[in-house]
Amino acid sequence: MLTSSLLESLTISTRLNETEQSFTAVSTDTRTIVEGALFVPLKGERFNGHDYVDAAIKSGAQAALWEEGQPVPAALPDDFQLYVVKDTLFALQEMASAYRVKINPKVIGITGSNGKTTTKDILASLLSLEGETYKTQGNYNNHIGLPLTILAMPSTCKYLILEMGMSGYGEIERLSEIAKPDLAIVTNIGESHMEQLGSRAGIAKAKMEIKEGLSPAGFLFIDSDEPLLDGWKQSSIMRVGFNHADILVENVAATVDGYQFDIEGHHFELSLLGKHNVKNAAYCIAVARKFGLVTSKIQTGLRQISLTSMRLEKLTGNKGELIVNDAYNASPTSMIAAIDALKAIPSYEKRVVVLGDMFELGTEEEALHKSVAQVITPPITHVLTLGDRAKWIYEEASHISSSSTFDEMAHFTTKQELADHLSKLVDQKTVILFKASRGMKLEEVITAYQDKQQD
């Protein structure tokens, strides 16, 4: 539980001279305030959280941080404490860092262009067998969400797993400095945020900032199969992957349920789609071993993974078809991986890819969309695309493939047209992948075509 003593180094002045208070939670949003919470009003270009302190009080806030110079409402209750600071965002981050030190869990930081959430979920499944584990909830992985995640961990937390997202230089470094991870993972280097960082090399540089806050005795696990990371050779960096690795993944074989593979003579089974998830699991196995988990316990954890939705999520449709919902987000790297995952699933006659637009790819977005077409090959049977950018995938696939390569190739301009088509196409011998950037909300097509079948 957060107490007012953690605020002492941040406080310029307070409205009351009271004994130490404790707070049930910390929130920057009046809609999530609970009774006894500390409210942290933030300022942006178009909003000022200080304007909502009355709403926070009505929702149960017990106290608030307050930026120096902001007018204090005259009608505040006499017993409502304000902690006056120079910058409420900085104060939030410093509180989180102090709370992290006070509770002192083992902290694992995870960044990368793709796979952060899946890796977090796998790791939580393993570590929770060893002690109380808390992980990033939803997409709380930025300069505001990460501090709130730290402040939300229970006082009995043994392992804290933190996603770290970014859009530009310096952001991962700041998150790492706040979290002070004992161990860290860079899952891979993709193309997300190419607009801001200019190149994959720039993305790699930004992701590797995670080492800046790493414990002096800590280790960073990185992708051995990524040439852009070849230059990072330090004793605290361990390479994980299928080639040239310190922790080598071998004998990878697809099964009906997922994959089996070996690491350093130990055999593991994973009930997740996609070979890339084998590598994500390997990162987690490496972390778990550093914390002393034995192979049998790791295998138990791998068998009970509960993934966040829309990450290669397996669903059964109305006609008995297998739906692979990977519509949470997309980059060329993750789309190619998802297509490869679909191709590896055995025992289906129809293999349908439904692909939508990918965003934030910068000036190379057309070429990057077209690059996806290179892996659209048999056993895929149907290629369906939606959106202005995804049309580039369709056009390139049409260009490089003969008319007999696929049973069908088609581009759609509306979700309803696509849904109507799918409702007639699928049967129990069909597996169908949905993949696009978050802004496309491609999962709506799943709902629409399922509803159409019930009309």
Inter-helix orientation angle 332-344/365-372, to 10°:
10
Residue 170 assigned as binding residue: no
- In 3D, which of 49, 75, 63 has the Cα closest to residue 2? 63
Tokens 């797993």: give the residue. 161
Residue 116 assigned as binding residue: yes
- In 3D, which of 101, 86, 102, 100 has the Cα closest to residue 11? 86
Burial of 249 (0-12, 13-18, 19+ CB in 10 A): buried
Residue 301 assigned as binding residue: no
Distance between CA atoms of 327 and 243, rounded to whole angstroms? 29
Distance between CA atoms of 326 and 442, rounded to whole angstroms? 9
Residue 115 assigned as binding residue: yes
Q: Tell me the backbone φ, ψ of residue 163, rounded to 5 degrees.
A: -75, 145
- Enter the DSSP assignment of 137: -
Distance between CA atoms of 126 and 299, rounded to whole angstroms? 8
Residue 117 assigned as binding residue: yes
Residue 113 assigned as binding residue: yes
**Taking phi first (over 0 means left), then psi (-120 to 50 degrees means alpha), and beta for anything else, what does residue 90 get?**
alpha
For residue 184, the cross-strand partners are 109, 220
Residue 69 assigned as binding residue: no
Handedness of CA 431, 432, 438, 443 (dihedral sign): negative
- Enter the DSSP assignment of 140: -
Per this entry, what is the length of the chain?
455
Whether the Cβ atoms of residue 11 and residue 84 lie closer than 8 Å to each other: yes
Which pair of tokens denotes residue 292?
């002393």
Instruction: Please report, in range form, the residues annotated as the binding site.
Output: 112-118
Which amino acids are annotated as binding site for ATP, given as ranges? 112-118
